[in-house]
Amino acid sequence: MLAGYEHLLAAGRRLQWDAEAIDLSADAAALGALSNDAQRRVRTLLAGFWVAEHGVAEHLEEYVTVSDGMARRCLELQASDERRHARFFERVRAEVLDVDDVRGIAGAEIVALFERELPAVAAGLAAGSVALADAVGLYHLVLEAIVLSVGEAALVAEAAPLPGVAAGAARVQADERWHIGLGVQVLSDAGISPGGIEPLAERAARAWGAEIASDDRVRHALAAHRRRALLLRRSTLAGRV
């Protein structure tokens, strides 16, 4: 049974936090104390999240503009969340990674998904050539529910020695859970099951590369995706009765 927009909106409001209040003062030194391999993985994840969150913060406004009613109120709150995530990872870039451009660290597939494919879908949404449900399918059920879920699982594990990053990652992960629920609700209201995104699911689950997207993390993300797809199929069938 789906939660409904009122529940999602209440959950999102309860989860609000301050990206500027998290203390990152110990994190650069903690990163430097990790092994070379662990440092590389954490740097890749932090750079990837910078790319992802900045891409979403820029392009989710198109989703808000074409929506209405309770879906729009939820998307407006989500857009505020994404801007906060972008501010947090900008702090991480400057204070922990201390690099000017993270794209070379993030990995080509993450850059392609969030800086080419997401903007293209958002542009189509704004132009009227892409339906809101299709755009939600890409963002909420692929980029958030699969790509970022794999990355969040890795980041929470890998960045545990970095206190500020770990605290921020846990908060981002909690936000993303209700965002994914919002995507499922929007698709259910549209009477759409996510069959069109199945070809992207495996690619999305492995977007971080084999070192980060371990077999266990990929299996977990794809199993959760299949459960959501089944829920949507049942909801769609129930709506036709």
Q: What is the pLDDT of residue 156?
A: 93
Residue 24 CA: distances (Å) to CA of 94, 135, 168: 10, 35, 10
Instruction: Give pLDDT, residue 160.
Output: 96
| Residue 240: predicted pLDDT | 46
How high is the pLDDT of residue 230? 86
How confident is the prediction along the chain (241 residues), in pLDDT tens digits per residue? 677 999 999 999 999 999 999 999 999 999 999 999 999 999 999 999 999 999 999 999 999 999 999 999 999 999 999 999 999 999 999 999 999 999 999 999 999 999 999 999 999 999 999 999 889 988 999 999 999 999 999 999 999 999 999 999 999 999 999 999 999 999 988 887 666 667 788 899 999 999 999 999 999 999 999 888 888 888 765 654 3
Could you tell me the pTM of the whole model?
0.93
